[in-house]
């Protein structure tokens, strides 16, 4: 039985040991339409000049993308001057370009020439709402305390977002947080009345929303530019510099609308733009093969969960064996593992960034920490609940401690342990979809992109395979249990 166990663990390990990426320019993006479009424009421009590009799109938030850049996980992504000043550098004052460059230089970063448009924050309402309350400016909201504000999480928390807006305009309404990709839907369905938007958002056109004028000039300017590290190859910098001032507000909004309204892919929209601007001479036929990306995403997903699970098994079981004989130590271990479990997964992933950067490593660490509790708890419970008579007999028959473990304790604990690993596996597969927010890829990637585009079929391209994968994990562990554990000791038997 032990040999089979060892074999199973080895297989799991081999399955997990998948590929690494070759050296390229890694272009990143945050997870909203404009971010993807700009990233795709930069990527295709570089590719047209013969520079290989790795696309690392969909980072879940400014700090994630920023940390990815600093850590060298990505080489460039599109950022906004206002965001750099306020969120990243923590400066309340609006910085001019010289101050910005100096501040970035201290972090070994560099802002390339701005792309032209100013995508500042805005508040949007539906046209019926605007008509009903005669809304034109943000000041008009003041008297309407019944309006429900559904705001994106980042906007709610930024000093230059909701808190400041509220005090400058004297708004008394409360706000609830909502994923930006879902906000317009909620607006149209009447679940919320006001949301935040970006002034170049193609959805504004799509849903015929009314943008309220910032009549007190509260929002700082958000000029988009490629943000990169100083040590980036100067040839690459020069190529990206060609994009300077090529996009005004209107053309950016049109590009965004092409994607969200006309359902063109980021790649198609970007290619059309580059061609129209004469930056490329021929369209690089952007091939988006759904099946290939599905297979890739699934493999990455398996890698993330596989490595995390394997590490959690080894650590969890060793830990359980080390502490189960001491009631106090067992308690401490279970408390700590339980505590880790209570951290919301998205928060744990975010907490990983300062420690382990972004990408697959922090995702694996976070998944590992999550998998630990079910494995350790089940293993310790299984070990301490072994019939005391069997322990006494095993000792009295002259089995050494190791022999007792191998021939009695581990086989008897196995059904519980397997059940724990099974729970950990299924939970990991689900949680790993969130890892796309920190750039780890996997099946969460189409989900994150789909959320940004409000594209259900894209979301399902991640959600369905993830669900199937979880189901497969269930079946695999069921088969494993049947193979390793005598039927009368299986967990099904234990439950009944």
Question: Judging by beta carbons within 10 Å of its beta carbon (0-12, 13-18, 19+), is residue 121 exposed, middle or buried?
Answer: buried
Candidate residues 102, 159, 290, 390; the one interacting with other proteins per rule CB under 8 A: 390
Q: Does 403 bind other proteins (CB under 8 A)?
A: yes
Is the CB of 347 or the CB of 393 nearer to other proteins?
A: 393
Candidate residues 412, 438, 443, 452; the one interacting with other proteins per rule CB under 8 A: 412
Q: Does 495 bind other proteins (CB under 8 A)?
A: no
- Cβ neighbours of residue 364 under 8 Å, at least 6 residues apart? 304, 307, 308, 311, 440
- Cβ neighbours of residue 371 under 8 Å, at least 6 residues apart? 308, 309, 312, 316, 424, 425, 427, 428
Cβ atoms within 10 Å of 403's Cβ, excluding its own? 13
Please report how close the Cβ of residue 474 comes to other proteins at its closest, in angstroms. Answer: 23
Distance CA 218, CA 163 (A): 12
Distance CA 313, CA 378 (A): 11
Is the CB of 76 or the CB of 412 nearer to other proteins?
A: 412
Q: What one-character DSSP code corresponds to residue 247?
A: B
Q: What is the 3-state secondary structure (H, E, C) of 94-135?
A: CCCHHHHHHHHHHCCEEECCCCECECCEEEEEEHHHHHHHCC
Q: Does 4 bind other proteins (CB under 8 A)?
A: no
Q: Does 392 bind other proteins (CB under 8 A)?
A: yes
Strand partners, 439: none
By CB under 8 A, how many residues form the interface with other proteins?
22
Is the CB of 30 or the CB of 416 nearer to other proteins?
A: 416
Please report how close the Cβ of residue 406 comes to other proteins at its closest, in angstroms. Answer: 10
Tell which positions 326-365 bind other proteins, by CB under 8 A.
none
Q: Does 115 bind other proteins (CB under 8 A)?
A: no
Question: Judging by beta carbons within 10 Å of its beta carbon (0-12, 13-18, 19+), is residue 79 exposed, middle or buried?
Answer: buried
Q: Does 400 bind other proteins (CB under 8 A)?
A: yes
Residue listed under structure tokens 């799991």: 12
Is the CB of 96 or the CB of 400 nearer to other proteins?
A: 400
Q: Does 5 bind other proteins (CB under 8 A)?
A: no
Candidate residues 398, 475, 495, 496; the one interacting with other proteins per rule CB under 8 A: 398
Please report how close the Cβ of residue 390 comes to other proteins at its closest, in angstroms. Answer: 6
Q: Does 417 bind other proteins (CB under 8 A)?
A: no
Distance CA 48, CA 35 (A): 20
Please report how close the Cβ of residue 195 comes to other proteins at its closest, in angstroms. Answer: 60
Cβ atoms within 10 Å of 318's Cβ, excluding its own? 12
Candidate residues 2, 216, 486, 494; the one interacting with other proteins per rule CB under 8 A: 486
Candidate residues 18, 102, 393, 479; the one interacting with other proteins per rule CB under 8 A: 393
Candidate residues 24, 411, 460, 474; the one interacting with other proteins per rule CB under 8 A: 411
Please report how close the Cβ of residue 391 comes to other proteins at its closest, in angstroms. Answer: 9
Is the CB of 332 or the CB of 492 nearer to other proteins?
A: 492
Pick the piece of the chain touching other proteins (CB under 8 A) from 254-262, 277-285, 374-382, 395-403.
Answer: 395-403
Please report how close the Cβ of residue 387 comes to other proteins at its closest, in angstroms. Answer: 8
479: three-class secondary structure by DSSP: helix
CB 112 within 8 A of CB 226: yes
Candidate residues 2, 7, 11, 397; the one interacting with other proteins per rule CB under 8 A: 397
Distance CA 226, CA 81 (A): 10
Instruction: Identify which of 195, 185, 181 has the alpha carbon closest to the alpha carbon of residue 148.
Output: 195
Pick the piece of the chain touching other proteins (CB under 8 A) from 92-100, 126-134, 392-400, 472-480.
Answer: 392-400
Pick the piece of the chain touching other proteins (CB under 8 A) from 79-87, 144-152, 401-409, 456-464.
Answer: 401-409
200: three-class secondary structure by DSSP: coil
Candidate residues 98, 143, 488, 495; the one interacting with other proteins per rule CB under 8 A: 488
Range 395-403, long-range pairs (CB < 8 A, 24+ positions): none
Distance CA 259, CA 257 (A): 5
Binding residues for other proteins, per CB under 8 A?
1, 387, 389-390, 392-400, 403, 407-408, 411-412, 485-486, 488-489
């Amino acid at each position: 039985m032990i040999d089979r166990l060892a074999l199973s663990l080895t297989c799991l390990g081999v399955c997990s040991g998948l590929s690494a990426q070759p050296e390229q320019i890694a272009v990143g993006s945050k997870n909203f339409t404009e971010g993807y479009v700009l990233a795709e424009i930069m990527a295709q421009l570089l590719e047209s000049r013969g520079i290989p590009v790795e696309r690392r799109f969909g980072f879940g938030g400014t700090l994630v993308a920023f940390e990815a850049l600093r850590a060298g996980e990505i080489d460039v992504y599109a950022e906004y001057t206002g965001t750099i000043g306020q969120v990243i550098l923590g400066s309340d004052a609006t910085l001019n370009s010289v101050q910005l460059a100096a501040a970035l230089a201290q972090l070994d970063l560099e802002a390339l020439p701005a792309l032209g448009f100013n995508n500042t924050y805005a508040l949007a309402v539906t046209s019926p709402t605007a008509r009903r309350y005669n809304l034109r400016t943000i000041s008009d909201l003041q008297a309407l305390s019944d309006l429900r504000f559904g705001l994106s999480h980042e906007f709610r928390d930024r000093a230059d977002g909701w808190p400041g807006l509220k005090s400058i305009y004297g708004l008394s309404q409360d706000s609830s947080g909502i994923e930006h990709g879902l906000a317009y839907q909620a607006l149209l369905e009447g679940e919320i009345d006001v949301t935040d938007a970006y002034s170049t958002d193609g959805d504004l056109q799509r849903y015929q929303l009314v943008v309220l004028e910032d009549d007190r000039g509260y929002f700082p300017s958000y000029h988009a530019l490629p943000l990169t590290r100083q040590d980036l190859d100067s040839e690459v910098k020069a190529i990206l510099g060609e994009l300077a001032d090529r996009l005004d507000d209107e053309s950016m909004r049109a590009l965004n609308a092409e994607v969200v309204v006309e359902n063109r892919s980021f790649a198609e929209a970007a290619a059309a733009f580059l061609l129209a601007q004469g930056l490329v001479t021929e369209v690089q036929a952007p091939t988006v093969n759904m099946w290939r990306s599905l297979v890739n995403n699934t493999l990455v997903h398996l890698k993330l969960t596989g490595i995390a699970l394997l590490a959690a098994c080894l650590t969890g079981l060793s830990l359980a064996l080390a502490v189960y004989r001491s009631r106090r130590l067992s308690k401490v271990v279970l408390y700590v593992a339980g505590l880790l479990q209570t951290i919301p997964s998205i928060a744990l992933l975010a907490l990983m960034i300062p420690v382990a950067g972004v990408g697959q490593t922090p995702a694996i660490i976070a998944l590992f920490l999550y998998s630990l509790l079910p494995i350790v708890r089940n293993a310790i419970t299984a070990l301490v609940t072994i019939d005391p008579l069997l322990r006494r007999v095993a000792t009295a028959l002259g089995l050494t401690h190791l022999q007792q473990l191998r021939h009695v304790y581990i086989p008897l604990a196995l059904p519980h342990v397997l059940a724990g690993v099974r729970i950990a596996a299924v939970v990991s597969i689900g949680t790993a979809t969130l890892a796309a927010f920190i750039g780890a890829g996997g099946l969460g990637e189409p989900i994150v992109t789909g959320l940004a585009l409000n594209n259900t079929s894209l979301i399902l391209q991640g959600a369905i395979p993830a669900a199937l994968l979880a189901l497969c994990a269930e079946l695999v562990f069921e088969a494993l249990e049947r193979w390793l554990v005598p039927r009368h000791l299986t967990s099904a038997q234990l439950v009944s």
